[in-house]
Structure formats: C-alpha cells, structure tokens
Amino acid sequence: MNIDENSKVAVYSRKSREDPDTEDTLLKHRDQLKALLNRYSFTDVEWFEEVVSSDSIDNRPIFSRLLPRIRSGEFDVVCVIANDRLSRGSQIDSGRIMEAFKESNTLLITPQKIYNMSNESDEMLSEFELVIARNEYRAIKRRLLNGRKDAVKEGRPHSGSVPYGFKWDKNDKTAKVDEEKIKIYRMMIDWFLNEEMSSVAIADRLNQLEIPPPSSRGKMWYGEVVTYLLINDFHRGYVWYGKDEQNKGIHQPTKTEEEHIKIVERLSKLRTYPEAGRRLNMNTNRLSGIVRCPYCLKVQSIDQPKGRQKHVRKCLRRSTAREPMCDTTKGINEDILYGAILQEMKQYSSELFKRNKNTETEEQATFSVQLIELKEKAIKKLRGRIDRLKELYLDGDLDKNEYKEKLEKAQENLIKSEKELSELYSSVEYQKEKALEKRTYLWQKEDVQALLESDQGMSETEINIILKKLISHVSYKVKDEDGKQPELSVKVYYN
C-alpha cells in the first residue's frame, strides 16, 4: 500500500501507570511522534493517548475504541513509538491486533520501520518483537513484585500511599508522622475509647469542626472511614503487601497494642464495621421493597394506620409505567400476605431438595459441566503449545515453513475450541446447573432454614434481609366476588 501526505493517520501513545514521570514521558513520546508525522508530511491525523497498563486490551478504553476502527479500514496508517506500545499482554490480544491490521491492510509505522502485516516477513518480525516485549514485560512485573515484597521485609510501605496521620518522604522512601494530622487521629481514638462515641458520631464531630477528610477529593468524613482508620494496622506499626506479606515497620507507631485490642473489641460489640446489608433502616418492615404491583411492577408501600395492623397499600404510584389495571389492585393485611409468602417458600424449599429429581435432566446438566472442564483444559494446553512452538523456532529446532504450518494449525484449533467453550457457557443446561447450584446454596443456609421453621426471635429487619436473599419480588391479586370469601393468589419470583 502506498502512503502519501493525504493518508488518514491514527497516532496511538500509551504510558504505563507505574511510570513516576508519566507526563514527561508522554510529552517526550508526543514530540517523537510529531517528528515522525513531519517525516512523511502527514496532515490528516487523529491522536489517541492514554495512561494505562498494557496487560489487556479490555482494560485500555482508548485503544478498545481505536481497534474496531482499524479493523474497519478507517485509517491508512497507525503511528506508534514502538511495536510493543500496542500490546505486551497475552498471545490472544496480540493476535486480535495482528488480524485487525491484516484484514484492513493498514500500515503500522514506528520511527524505526514500516510494518505491512500482509507481508509475511513483516508479520513474522512483528511477532518476534511482541514475544520479546512480553518476556520483558513479565520480567518488569516480576521485579516490581519482588521490589514491593523486599520493601515490606525491610519494614517500609511498598508504595508511596500512606494512611491518614502520615506523609511520604520521597528522599528516603519512608513514612513520617504528620504532626498536625496525628493530633486529630489521637483525638479520634480518645473519643472512641474514652468518650465511647461511635464512628458515625466521630465523623459528625470532625465535620462540625470543619477538619478536612483524608481524601483530597472527599468533601466530608464518614463513619466507615473513621472505622477503617481506627483499626488500620499501619498505625500500630505494621506494613504489608497482599494477604501473606506482613512485617513490623520502621515507621513510628501512633497507637499501642493495648489500644488496638480495645478498639477491635468495642467495634465487634457495636458492629460498626461495614458489611453487606449493614446500611439498613432498623425500622424496616418484613416485606419492605419486596411487594410489587403485578401490572406496572412498582413497589407497593406498607403503612400502619394508628390503632390498626400493618397494611400493604394498593398500587398508587403515578408513573409512565402505570397501567389501567393498576386501579384494580387492592390493599391487604401484611400478616396475611406474609403468611401466604412463607407457605409458598416452604413448598418451594421442599421441591428444591427433593431427591427424586428428573435423572435425565440431572445427568445432562452434569455432562455439560464436565464438557466445559475438559474444554478449558484443552484450551490451556493449546495456548501452552503455541508458546512452545515459538520457543522451538527461536532455538532453531523448527524451520520457518514447519513453524508457520504448526502455528496456524494450533491457532485454528484454539479459535475453534474457544468458540465451542463460549457456546457451552451459554447453553441452557449449564446455566440451569449453575442457577440451581447457587439457589441450593442460598436455601441451605442456617438463617433461611430457621426462618422457614419459625421466625420467633427474629427482628423484622433480619426477616427482610433473608427474604431479599431469596426473593426478587412478590406480586399478589385479591379476587373479591359478591357473597364469596376473598381469594388471595400469590406469585413469588425467586432469585
């Protein structure tokens, strides 16, 4: 393909997040790429820049948008500072990029070379360069990981990020106490242990005193932030990396072991540490957020008029989803509806755990899972085979033609296997098996079985939490004919 000054050009520049001088590096690359554009007198240019790791295309939003445009042939040329700027990730990502350039006949230009992926020599050279780049990238990641672990072994934080009350000294790469902020941190401990204030109350007091929160982007203190700082091991003199690497730090502790133990004990009693479902109104009704109109699917509210029992109101929501049939809905006593829902759940639980399931369906579902496991192992082997072929070729154990023939066959088998795996994942049998497995796990839990047997001793909030684990929503209809007992029908939609 011929190039000239009228060629449509995309310029892609990427810098890793790990680079401390990111802005300087991007400016340097920008200048080099501008010089490259001037060399070929390109004028129709579109720039794409991002600061992101090269691990995966899916984690690079700018390049993810550029790649389909390359594949569609929108650009004649793509300019980069080096071949490995496009990908140092997996073989699959590199293959996707190669195919996009080949299908569209787009040229790749670097300051050193012009690559035409339709040319076998250029394609082979590009593949070799990407293999080397991937090996370098693995080595960099390994050195970075070892560096972080070594820092922890030496008692230093593995990065420049330190919690509230400390500041990072760039010169000796250690954490130093911030005298102003540590006074505030000590006040937080005093309020929590001596004045027995909760984390939320401490956050409110800090906001009233207009003390800036830890995050420069935050506007106020929150109870969860206070809790996190109170129990943070860094303040008692420890550093860590991941779950396994922990060591005594060389920085100055700002709370004693005795204080830390007291904080943890009081927190466990107050249950202020954030957990899923903790942020609930403690006056929640049993069926709050569960009952929905059968016609517009809007939530039906629950109230308790003075001197009367709790009542589920008819559908009164005014919205664009409202249907004429919404006007026919009726309110109902909450106890009656709750009892009917429990009865439906008990029947469903009994059916779920019946041993006399359809044997054929069970075997079919199990067979699907086994097929998926086998296919996953096969794909892993194929990827390993592709890597070994490259190594054999680089070592001179395979000639060019033999290497190319075996590589194409292995890649063809890999694509075929991945497609088959995708079809298996989306198969009805597999989805049913996984849904049944998840549902059975939820219904086997102790609190669920306790509710089905008796809700004695459970608060309405606890009942509501359990119901929401199992139920998406509930709809009901009341059939009220003259001279006859009203008939209630309940439909429970399970998660």
Q: Which of 301, 314, 286, 332 is nearest to 459 (CA)?
A: 286
Q: Which of 279, 281, 301 is nearest to 291 (CA)?
A: 301
Residue 369, pLDDT score: 65
What's the CA dihedral at 132, 133, 137, 140 to 10 degrees?
70
Q: Cβ atoms within 10 A of the Cβ of 489, count? A: 11
Comparison of pLDDT for 207 and 317, the residue scoring more: 207
- CB of 254 within 8 A of CB of 165? yes
What percent of the chain is predicted at pLDDT more than 90? 12
- Is 333 part of any domain? no
| pLDDT over 70 at 415, yes or no | yes
Query: Does one domain contain both 134 and 224?
Result: no
The reply to whether 18 and 52 lie within a common domain is yes
More confident residue, 105 or 19: 105
Rounded Cα distance between 177 and 184, Å, is: 12
Domain co-membership, 34 together with 94: yes
Same domain, 45 and 85: yes
Specify if 466 maps to a domain.
no
Q: What is the pLDDT of residues 431-472, one digit of tens each?
A: 666 666 777 777 777 677 778 777 777 888 888 888 888 888
Query: What is the pTM (predicted TM-score) of this model?
Result: 0.39
Distance in angstroms (rounded) separating the CA atoms of residues 427 and 74: 36
Within a domain: residue 441?
no
Looking at the structure, tell me whether residues 19 and 71 fall in a common domain.
yes
- 120 and 196 together in one domain: no
β strands within 249-403, DSSP E: 302-303, 311-312, 332-333
Does the pLDDT of residue 361 top 50, yes or no?
no
Quick one: pLDDT at residue 249? Answer: 85
pLDDT band with cut points at 50, 70 and 90 for residue 475: very high
- Most confident residue range from 48-52, 229-233, 423-427, 467-471: 229-233
Number of domains in the chain: 3
pLDDT score recorded for residue 433: 65
Question: Which of 213, 238, 270 is the last residue in one of the domains?
Answer: 270
pLDDT digits (tens, 9 = 90+) for 157-199: 877 788 898 988 888 888 888 988 999 999 999 999 988 888 8
> What's the pLDDT at 107?
92
Contact 330, 480 (CB under 8 A): yes
Beta-carbon contacts of residue 104 (< 8 Å; ≥ 6 apart):
70, 71, 72, 73, 75
Residue span of the structural domain in which 54 resides: 8-145
**Is residue 134 domain-resident?**
yes
Phi and psi dihedrals of 333, rounded to 5? -60, 130
For the segment 346-370, the average pLDDT, to the nearest whole number, is 60
Q: Which of 425, 456, 475 is the last residue of a domain?
A: 425
What are the two backbone dihedrals, phi and then psi, of residue 467, each rounded to the nearest 5 degrees? -60, -40
**Which of 113-122, 150-159, 459-468 shows the lowest mean pLDDT across its residues?**
150-159
State mean pLDDT over 295-302.
Answer: 86
Residues 107 and 216 in one domain: no
Residue 71 within any structural domain of the chain? yes
Residue 129 resides in a domain: yes
Question: Is residue 396 included in any domain, yes or no?
Answer: yes
Final residue of a structural domain among 242, 270, 298: 270
Q: Is the pLDDT of residue 32 over 80?
A: yes
- The Cα–Cα gap between 464 and 174 comes to 48
Count the neighbouring beta carbons within 10 Å of the beta carbon of residue 27.
11
Q: Are residues 382 and 412 in the same domain?
A: yes
* C-alpha dihedral, 236 to 239 to 240 to 245, nearest 10°: -100
Task: Check whether residue 113 and residue 222 sit in a common domain.
Answer: no
Q: What pLDDT was estimated at residue 74?
A: 92
Q: Cα 455 vs. chain centroid, distance in angstroms?
A: 35
Residues written for the chain: 495
Q: Does residue 421 belong to any structural domain of this protein?
A: yes
